[in-house]
Every structure is written in structure tokens, then in C-alpha cells.
């Protein structure tokens, strides 16, 4: 990600970041002297989930815009953006001559039909900076191994930068990655089926929490319930609410504002990359915390 943005961003340039988003996108841009422009992802309610606001993305483009970020499936919302939305982003890239930083690291954690990769476009090489890795699909989180797919002539220049930042990934991690790609994908399929059951469980349990609006994620392994009703009833900010759950019920969640800039202020993020027992216990404690808070009002 750092290499890709280093190739296309400099001081005074702009990058469009649909948010809430993974925090590294705007932070890397700022490090390079560029300005992130945040476009809120639309929450369409617990029945329809989240969608890119194509119109606002297009309106935000200026002559200084160099990159649009698309993380699909998305962290933190668990959204799976519609194929027609992906088509629209590519249309904008072609018409406005901007690059698209495509992060598809959760591409195998998809719980229904409709995932469209940017790599399916015939002209992807002209517009796409493709980021992926081994942490999610192959559970190789600690190996810290990812990859960038980019035009050959650009990669040639970025190799010089990479060599001076980290030299190269360690050899055993590279060999493990090759073995993962060439190996049996059946364990990956079983893992995704397990995560689908966990997704269904956490969505079902969270719907029992007063004031929570819950949309079951379509991708990744996060769920992003809207908790605005609870915040309004208790007079808390989302940060205060998350801290209350942590220090009183010992359950770790993240406030939506941890995924800058402001669009997450009504939401919290939970991960279901844990056991069903932990999910049940954790959500039950959240429910207790909410009921106790509401009882005081």
C-alpha cells in the first residue's frame, strides 16, 4: 500500500477515501504530503447495508485528485459493494484519468453472490493499483506478507524504493506463500463456511441488544452495528460507550470513529474471528451493559 501510494501521491495531491475506512489509507497519504478527502459510505439501513456514494465520489474529484481508494469486501463495515458500483468507479477512473487503489485482501471472505474484482476489467493495468496479502485467506497474519500488482514499468521503479525500505521479505515466508497459492484450497473453503456461521450467530445475537441496528456483513469478518439510539438515550459518545463496555464488561469493540474521519460516529465494530462460545458470551455482556445503562435513564 505504501509503495503504491508513493508512486502516485506527492505534496498537494488528493486521494479520495470512502469512509469509515482502514486508517492506513489517509495516514500514508498524509505522510506523503497529500490530502485525504473523505466521502461517507451510505448506510441504507439494517435490511440493505452499506453502499458507495458514487455521485459524491465523482463530485469530489479535482485536478489534484490522483487516487480513489476501494476496499472490497470492506473493513470495518463488512460491506460487499455491488458489481455496478465497481463498474462506476472504473468509469470514473477512465474518464477522470485517476488511479484506483484496490484493496481486496478479504476477497475470499464473501458470504453471498455479487463480488466483482477489479482484476476482471480488461484494462485494469491502466488504472488499478492492486493490493492483497496472505494474512486473511491463509491465516498467515504474523508472517507480514502482502503484494502489489501494478504496471511492469512502475514496478521497476518501486523495486528500488522497496529495497531501501525493507530489502525483501524473508525467504521462508515467500516459500510458504507459494505453497499456500499452489496448495489445497479446501481448508480455505471450510474456514469461510465457519466464518459464515459465526457471522449469522453474531448478527442474530446483536439483534437482541436494545437500540442496535444490525446488518449482517456480506464480506470480511467484521460486523458494524449502528448504535445511535443507544447513544442518544444514554447521552454518551461512541468512544465513551465502547470504553464503558470494555471497563465494565471486559469486551473489546472499536468505535466507528477509529476508522477516520467522521462517518463512523454512530457505529461500533466487532470482529467475529473468534469462537462461537466467545461470540455468545461477548454479545451477552454487551446486552447486559446496554440494559443497565438504559435502566438508569
Domain boundary among 157, 182, 207: 182
Check residue 112 and give its pLDDT: 84
Quickly state the pLDDT bin for 223 (edges 50, 70, 90): very high
H or E stretch covering 27: helix 24-31
Quickly state the pLDDT bin for 252 (edges 50, 70, 90): very high
CATH number at residue 222: 3.90.1150.10
Domain boundary among 182, 212, 244: 182
Residues 264, 167 share a domain: no
Residues 175, 57 share a domain: yes
Distance CA 238, CA 242 (A): 6
Sheet holding 222-223, edge to edge: 222-223, 268-271, 254-255
Q: How many domains does the chain have?
A: 2
What range does the domain containing 286 cover?
Answer: 186-295
Determine the number of helices (DSSP H) and then strands (DSSP E) in the chain. 10, 11
Check residue 113 and give its pLDDT: 86
Residues 10, 118 share a domain: yes
Residue 102's closest CA among 68, 140, 153, 61?
Answer: 68
Is-above-0.75 flag for pTM? yes
Give the length of the chain.
297
Quickly state the pLDDT bin for 158 (edges 50, 70, 90): very high
Residues 132, 21 share a domain: yes
Reported as a single tens digit per residue, the pLDDT across 267-277 is 999 999 999 99
Amino acid at each position: 500500500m505504501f509503495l503504491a501510494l508513493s508512486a502516485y501521491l506527492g505534496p498537494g495531491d488528493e486521494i479520495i477515501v470512502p469512509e469509515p475506512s482502514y486508517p492506513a489509507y489517509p495516514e500514508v497519504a498524509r505522510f506523503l504530503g497529500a490530502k485525504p478527502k473523505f466521502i461517507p459510505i451510505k448506510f441504507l439501513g439494517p435490511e440493505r447495508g452499506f453502499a458507495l456514494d458514487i455521485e459524491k465520489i465523482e463530485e469530489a474529484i479535482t485536478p489534484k485528485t490522483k487516487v480513489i481508494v476501494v476496499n472490497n469486501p470492506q473493513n470495518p463495515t463488512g460491506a460487499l459493494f455491488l458489481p455496478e458500483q465497481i463498474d462506476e468507479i472504473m468509469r470514473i477512473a477512465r474518464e477522470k484519468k485517476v488511479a484506483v487503489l484496490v484493496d481486496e485482501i478479504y476477497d475470499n471472505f464473501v458470504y453471498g453472490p455479487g463480488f466483482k474484482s477489479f482484476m476482471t476489467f480488461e484494462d485494469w493495468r491502466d488504472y488499478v493499483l492492486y493490493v492483497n496479502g496472505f494474512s486473511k485467506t491463509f491465516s498467515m497474519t504474523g508472517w507480514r506478507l502482502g503484494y502489489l500488482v501494478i504496471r511492469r514499468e512502475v514496478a521497476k521503479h518501486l523495486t528500488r524504493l522497496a529495497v531501501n525500505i525493507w530489502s525483501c521479505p524473508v525467504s521462508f515466508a515467500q516459500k510458504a506463500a507459494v505453497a499456500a497459492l499452489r496448495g489445497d484450497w479446501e481448508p480455505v473453503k471450510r474456514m469461510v463456511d465457519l466464518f459464515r456461521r459465526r457471522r449469522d450467530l453474531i448478527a442474530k445475537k446483536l439483534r437482541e441488544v436494545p437500540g442496535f441496528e444490525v446488518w449482517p456483513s456480506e464480506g470480511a469478518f467484521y460486523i458494524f452495528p449502528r448504535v445511535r439510539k443507544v447513544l442518544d438515550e444514554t447521552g454518551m459518545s461512541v468512544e465513551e460507550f465502547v470504553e464503558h463496555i470494555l471497563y465494565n464488561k471486559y469486551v473489546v469493540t472499536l468505535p466507528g470513529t477509529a476508522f477516520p474521519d467522521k462517518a463512523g460516529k454512530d457505529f461500533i465494530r466487532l470482529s467475529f474471528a473468534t469462537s462461537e462460545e466467545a461470540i455468545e458470551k461477548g454479545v451477552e455482556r454487551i446486552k447486559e451493559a446496554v440494559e443497565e445503562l438504559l435502566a438508569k435513564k
